[in-house]
């Protein structure tokens, strides 16, 4: 059931409220099926059927249920929870069940009444439709009929609905239309408009799912360089409170080279979502120069909103992402955070008196997480185009305990793991991604892209950096026992090289106009500059130069400044020359 006004719905059956337990309402005498959308009480609060046992139907209500009492009416629509799909979704902020918050605010101010509805897309606004096909052409499900300029950044492609039988075009119009008006008629009698509806819990069909082979370039050196995510891949960002999960996801939304961004604020603090809502409209898109919101759809379901809607918001977001994927776009979906989603499932499960699993989460937690992440991927669409959804879920383990069920079940599913570290955050090392605990299973399949597009020795250079950081981790255990001065000179020098990798490569300033985005070419040159220092320094050490003189050269600290340089290629070339000259002068 999409968000048409409640007055427009067809009621297929009616029942009455038996009991109320928070967001869970039981009704009797209601002829319903699983996942049917219902309206509860005199105010018509929207809900969904989640359990049927004999004459007793259990409903999760997506709004606050205070004031609802036994004996009240329950109306069943007979349709599943669906979203409106069409032009107008970008540059829009929705709640968890796709009600546009700006439209509701214009009607009733900052405090929303219960039981209010609004269409997910404006049914009256007109769009300039330009057909790409002619009368007599045959179309099938998913085929592109024409285009609409949705925003300055995105051309909306109007498609045949995926559940259509297709046929020959008997009439096709061009010009200004709203989303409900017929633009194409088929010889079968089917009429097609720009608006589609799709059930949120059902994945939209595709022709095939492929293994990803291109990276989602994020502009974050630690991610692109050491732990890359593929376009169509899945990633998790777990971390304790204050470690930078939200900022990391916001950086991905701002700077990743995806065509479309769907950002789901699922159960997070209201002030964090407010920051996103305030910042994104004013941020210039680094790809196009247009406002970032021109290619972004925000779904806000903060911690003070009804808990049941939190359970549906991730499905709303992934369905919108699939719609743009079907057009051939690369979509980046951020879910912040899946832990709050799991907590909503746990609360509703406990009210249903289901048998609890580990730490009280429902036994189907892993299955629900899998269903969500499996809808990401690189797809061959029905219309012959190729599109992708890259899903990045933040996880908020209590106390930073990665052994808790949500983190562990997520780890079994995703292929990229960016582990945030509270100790790094306390030392003001951002992004606070722990390079010892993080990993990416996409590295090998993405190496060919980096070799072809960045540098032939990208894999070897990355492996060198990883080996130095690993050696530093081992040496730090010894340093804590006996001190740095007790180490041999070659190991002291390794620690110095690793320090420049940490401070010059892994650290990145999200608030610096230049350093907030680092293309892979820049990341590679930073590696090579530090490697040059490493090679020249060890040559000097072998020639008998004391390690104190090697580490004291004037050029070395400039390695930490490469990230902030606009003309980084020239800067690196001069820096490598200065390092080589200074060190060779010493022997």
CB atoms near residue 63 (< 10 Å): 25
Residues 314 and 220 in one domain: yes
For residue 138, which phi and psi values (nearest 5 degrees)?
-100, 135
Domain count, the chain: 4
Q: Which two tokens stand for residue 449?
A: 């892209």
234-252: string of b/e by CB count within 10 Å (b at 16+)?
Answer: bbbbbbbeebbbbbbbbbb
Residues 149 and 23 in one domain: no
Name the helix (H) or strand (E) containing 321.
Answer: helix 307-326
Instruction: Render pLDDT for 101-140 as a digit per residue (tens, 0 to 9).
Output: 888 777 776 666 777 778 899 999 999 999 999 999 999 9
Q: Assess if residue 87 is contained within a domain.
A: no
Which of these three, 150, 167, 194, is where a domain ends?
Answer: 194
Helix axes 338-351, 365-374, angle to 10 degrees: 140
Residue 144 pairs with which residues in a beta bridge?
159
pLDDT of residue 5: 44
CA distances from 71 to 26, 39, 46, 50 (A): 11, 14, 17, 20
What's the helix, strand, coil split of the chain in %, to 5?
A: 35, 25, 40
CA distances from 63 to 41, 290, 307, 434 (A): 12, 36, 8, 39
CA distances from 170 to 128, 167, 178, 184, 313 (A): 21, 9, 20, 8, 39
Distance CA 405, CA 421 (A): 19
Residues 260 and 407 in one domain: yes
Q: Assess if residue 452 is contained within a domain.
A: no
pLDDT of residue 279: 74
Pair 577, 533: CB distance under 8 Å: no
The single-letter DSSP state of residue 223 is I
CATH number of 159's domain: 2.40.50.100
Q: Which two tokens stand for residue 177?
A: 């239309």
Residues 284 and 384 in one domain: yes
Collapsing DSSP states into helix, strand and coil, what is residue 206?
Answer: coil
CATH number of 269's domain: 3.40.50.300
Collapsing DSSP states into helix, strand and coil, what is residue 413?
Answer: coil
Instruction: Print pLDDT tens along the chain (587 aa).
Output: 444 444 455 678 899 999 999 889 999 999 999 999 999 999 899 999 999 999 999 999 988 888 899 999 999 999 999 999 999 999 899 988 898 988 877 777 666 677 777 889 999 999 999 999 999 999 999 999 999 999 999 999 999 999 999 999 999 999 999 999 999 999 999 999 999 999 999 999 999 999 999 999 999 999 999 999 999 999 999 988 778 887 888 888 888 999 999 999 887 777 777 777 777 777 777 777 888 888 999 998 877 777 778 888 999 999 999 999 999 999 999 998 899 899 989 988 998 888 999 999 999 999 999 999 999 999 999 999 999 999 999 998 888 888 999 999 999 999 999 999 989 999 999 999 999 999 999 999 999 999 999 999 999 999 999 999 999 999 998 998 888 888 999 999 999 999 999 999 999 998 899 999 999 999 999 999 999 999 999 999 999 999 999 999 999 999 999 999 999 999 999 999 999 999 999 88
Residues 413 and 489 in one domain: no
For the chain, state the CA radius of gyration: 27
Q: Assess if residue 311 is contained within a domain.
A: yes
Residues 431 and 314 in one domain: yes
CA distances from 1 to 27, 95, 145, 299, 366 (A): 19, 15, 25, 18, 27
> C-alpha angle with apex 201: 195 to 204, nearest 5 degrees?
55
Distance CA 143, CA 45 (A): 37
Q: Assess if residue 378 is contained within a domain.
A: yes
Domain that holds residue 177: 124-194
Distance CA 517, CA 514 (A): 6
For residue 489, which phi and psi values (nearest 5 degrees)?
-65, -35
DSSP string of 266-306, one letter each residue: ES--HHHHHHHHHHGGGSBPTTTSSBGGGGEEEEEE-TTS-
CATH number of 40's domain: 2.40.30.20
Residues 425 and 465 in one domain: no
Distance CA 528, CA 532 (A): 6
pLDDT of residue 67: 87
Q: Assess if residue 236 is contained within a domain.
A: yes
CA distances from 575 to 104, 508, 578 (A): 57, 20, 5
Strand order, beta sheet including 167-172: 138-139, 167-172, 184-186, 191-192
Q: Which two tokens stand for residue 586?
A: 């010493």
CA distances from 68 to 3, 31, 73, 194, 353 (A): 22, 21, 10, 38, 21
Residue 85 pairs with which residues in a beta bridge?
196
Distance CA 342, CA 347 (A): 9
Which of these three, 54, 80, 106, is where a domain ends?
Answer: 80
pTM of the entire structure? 0.92
CB atoms near residue 195 (< 10 Å): 21
CATH number of 530's domain: 1.10.1140.10
pLDDT of residue 110: 65
Pair 261, 332: CB distance under 8 Å: yes
pLDDT of residue 118: 84
Residues 18 and 156 in one domain: no
pLDDT of residue 246: 78
The single-letter DSSP state of residue 318 is H
By CB atoms closer than 10 A (0-12, 13-18, 19+), residue 493 is buried
Residues 258 and 131 in one domain: no
Which of these three, 80, 115, 140, is where a domain ends?
Answer: 80
Residues 22 and 48 in one domain: yes
Q: Assess if residue 1 is contained within a domain.
A: no
Helices and strands, counts by H and E, the chain: 15, 26
Residues 511 and 567 in one domain: yes
Indicate the pairing of strand 234-238 with strand 386-395.
parallel
Q: Assess if residue 445 is contained within a domain.
A: no
Residues 366 and 495 in one domain: no
Q: Assess if residue 465 is contained within a domain.
A: yes
């Amino acid at each position: 059931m999409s968000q048409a006004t409640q007055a427009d719905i067809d009621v297929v059956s009616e029942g009455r409220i038996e009991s109320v337990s928070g967001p869970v309402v039981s009704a009797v005498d209601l002829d319903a099926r699983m996942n049917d959308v219902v309206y509860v009480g005199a105010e018509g609060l929207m809900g969904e059927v989640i359990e049927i046992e004999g004459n007793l139907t259990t409903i999760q209500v997506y709004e606050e249920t205070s004031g609802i009492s036994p004996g009240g009416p329950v109306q069943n629509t007979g349709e599943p929870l669906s979203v409106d799909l069409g032009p107008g979704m970008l540059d829009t902020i929705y709640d968890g069940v796709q009600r546009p918050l700006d439209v509701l605010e214009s009607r009733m101010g900052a405090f929303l009444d219960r039981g209010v509805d609004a269409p997910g897309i404006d049914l009256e606004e007109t769009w300039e439709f330009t057909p790409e096909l002619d009368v007599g052409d045959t179309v099938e499900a998913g085929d592109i009929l024409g285009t609409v300029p949705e925003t300055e950044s995105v051309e909306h492609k109007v498609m045949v609905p995926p559940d259509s039988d297709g046929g020959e075009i008997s009439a096709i119009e061009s010009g200004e239309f709203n989303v409900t008006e017929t633009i194409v008629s088929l010889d079968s009698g089917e009429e097609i408009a720009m608006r589609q509806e799709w059930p949120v819990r059902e994945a939209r069909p595709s022709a095939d799912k492929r293994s990803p082979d291109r990276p989602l370039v994020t502009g974050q050196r630690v991610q692109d360089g050491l732990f890359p995510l593929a376009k169509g891949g899945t990633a998790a960002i777990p971390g304790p409170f204050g470690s930078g999960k939200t900022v990391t996801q916001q950086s991905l939304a701002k700077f990743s080279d995806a065509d479309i961004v769907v950002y789901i604020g699922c159960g997070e603090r209201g002030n964090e979502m407010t920051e996103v809502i305030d910042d994104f409209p004013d941020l210039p898109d680094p790809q196009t120069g247009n406002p970032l919101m021109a290619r972004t759809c925000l779904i806000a379901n903060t911690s003070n909103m009804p808990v049941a809607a939190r359970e549906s918001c991730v499905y709303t977001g992934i369905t919108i992402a699939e719609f743009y994927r079907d057009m051939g776009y690369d979509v980046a979906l951020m879910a912040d955070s899946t832990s709050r989603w799991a907590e909503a499932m746990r609360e509703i499960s406990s009210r249903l008196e289901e048998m609890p699993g580990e730490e009280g989460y429902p036994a189907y937690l892993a299955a629900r997480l899998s269903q969500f992440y499996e809808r990401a991927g690189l797809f061959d669409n029905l219309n012959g185009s190729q599109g992708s959804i890259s899903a990045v879920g933040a996880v908020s383990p209590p106390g930073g305990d990665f052994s808790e069920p949500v983190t562990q079940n997520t780890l079994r599913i995703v292929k990229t793991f960016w582990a945030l570290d509270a100790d790094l955050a306390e030392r003001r090392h951002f992004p606070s991604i722990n390079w010892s605990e993080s990993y990416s299973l996409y590295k090998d399949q993405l190496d060919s892209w980096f070799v072809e597009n960045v540098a032939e020795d990208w894999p070897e250079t990355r492996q060198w950096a990883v080996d130095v950081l690993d050696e530093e981790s081992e040496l730090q255990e010894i340093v804590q026992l006996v001190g740095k001065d007790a180490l041999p000179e070659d190991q002291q020098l390794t620690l110095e090289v690793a320090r420049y990798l940490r401070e010059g490569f892994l650290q990145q300033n999200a608030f610096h106009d230049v350093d907030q985005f680092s293309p892979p070419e820049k990341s590679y040159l930073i590696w090579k500059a530090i490697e040059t220092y490493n090679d020249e320094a060890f040559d000097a050490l072998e020639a008998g130069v004391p390690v104190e003189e090697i580490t004291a050269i004037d050029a070395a600290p400039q390695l930490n400044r490469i990230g902030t340089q606009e003309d980084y290629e020239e800067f690196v070339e001069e820096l490598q020359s200065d390092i080589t000259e200074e060190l060779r002068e010493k022997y």
